[in-house]
Structure 1
Amino acid sequence: MGTSLWSSTATDLLTRTASADPTPGGGSVAALSGAFGIALLQMAVAVTDDPDLEQHAARLAALRAEVEPAADEDVAVFDALMAAYRLPRDDEGARATRTAAVTGATVAATDAPLRLAETLAAARALSFVLEPLVKRGIRSDVLAGRDLIEGAVRAAVRTADINLTALERTGADQAPAFRDRRDAVLAGLDPAPVPAGEGSGV
């Protein structure tokens, strides 16, 4: 893998994403957009400038630090998977080696976006805590950040799904655990948590 996607200009990144180049794909774009969603939450906390929010600021920084590398990791696992598919299969030994390599690369290409989705889901959950705590005038940015993060969660799951399907089709041992993680992430998105201070009043 070459230069980090984060080193690209916004114009170059957009142009490359729109091109026939297979990367950056859905997983990378999920990480990029999710990181910006978290950054909006960080901005809301920074503008509010309340010492009581310091622990949340630290948590957001940690979550973003996990999300950012996922953009390049998605490119790396895709390249590794393509390299595995290109391995020779001229004889039984070569075919066995190739099959093992493809399975291993597919496992990595499933785990990476699932980890991204799980991290982003944690950031989304934190946004509901932050919403009533930040200054009222900046709450729209918390909501916008949450929307970006939620979209990124779903995009990351989409990226995992194509690889998970391949693992399930071949009966890979890791597939059931991946399916459980995938379903748990999506289940956590609906219904949305109710922010503190809101509810039916019943």
Structure 2
Amino acid sequence: MSLSTLSMDAFTRKLASADPTPGGGSVSAAVGAFGAALVRMVALLTATSPKHADVAARCTALAATAQSLTDELLALIDADAASFDRVSDAYRLPKADDAQKAARSTSIQAALTGAIEPPLRVLEASSKTCGLALTLADIGNPNVLSDIGCATLCARSAAQGAALNVEINAASLKDRARAEALLNRMHAQLAQVNLLAEVISGKLGAKAED
């Protein structure tokens, strides 16, 4: 069963259950997908507006990129849940003797490393979403600029949630050099998202005052 194909009602009910998946990581990916989808909507509404014929081709291409990001983020809803399940399975491995303890530890470390990848990808996709939103803040149909603001908030929230998951899993990695490299990658993406979000907010605020 794919989480991303559930109805909103079914997904929310599953989220509210005692099952640990889907959890915050999947929600971060879902919120990011909403943001990318909103970007696509604004791009298409701009591309099809006669008043914006001069940027129609650019916005059509931008919409295609936003669709790819939406698809990637939807897939990450399931990827994050699956990676959490692998971590849980690793922690449940037997540890009756030294050999089992060693095997269990190796499995846990591998699972934790794998669990960091989906949220890092959410961060990277969210950064790209904000980049598209920044372009639309300049050239987008002014009738739907508030949607660009909402898209940016979604992308920023997705990135912040994903960053939390990276931090939590990285804290349990024994290979501290690898952990630091992953954390540096996370911080770089999060800083980029926050910067872009602030610039977009400023642009939209200035246009609202015109």
Deviations 1:40-62 (A, max 9, x none): 11111111122232221222122
Residue 42 of structure 2 corresponds to residue 44 of structure 1 = yes
- Aligned equivalents of 2:169 and 2:128: distance in 1? 23
The structure with the largest helix share of the pair is 2
Per the alignment, residue 191 of structure 2 pairs with 187
The answer to whether 1:53 aligns with 2:51 is no
Match of 1:29 in 2: 27
**Structure 2: how far apart are the matches of 1:86 and 1:47?**
51
Say if 2:10 is the partner of 1:20: no
In the alignment, is residue 93 of structure 1 matched against residue 91 of structure 2?
no
- Residues 114-145 of structure 1: per-residue CA shift (max 9 Å, x gap): 12111111111221111121111011111111
Question: Aligned AA for 1:73?
Answer: A
> Residue type matched to 1:133 in 2?
I
Q: Does residue 1:146 correspond to 2:152, yes or no?
A: yes
Q: For 1:130 and 1:97, locate their aligned partners in 2 and report how far apart those are by CA, in whole Å.
A: 51
1:79-112 alpha-carbon deviations (Å, 9 max, x no partner): 1001101111111111111110000000001122
Percent of aligned pairs with the same amino acid: 32
* More divergent stretch after superposition (92-101 vs 4-13): 4-13
Distance in structure 2 (CA, Å) of the matches to 1:190 and 1:147? 10
- Which residue of structure 2 lines up, in the alignment, with residue 125 of structure 1? 131
Aligned residue pair count: 195
CA-based RMSD of the aligned residues comes to 2.0
Q: CA deviation at 1:171?
A: 3.4
Q: Quote the residue 1:175 is aligned against.
A: 179
Give TM-score, length-normalised by structure 1: 0.89
The runs of 5 or more residues in structure 1 that have no matched partner are none
Normalised TM-score (structure 2): 0.86
One-letter amino acid of the structure 2 residue matched with residue 66 of structure 1:
E
CA distance in 2 between counterparts of 1:84 and 1:37 reads 33
- Alpha-carbon distance change, 179 to 151 in structure 1, aligned in 2, over 3 angstroms: same
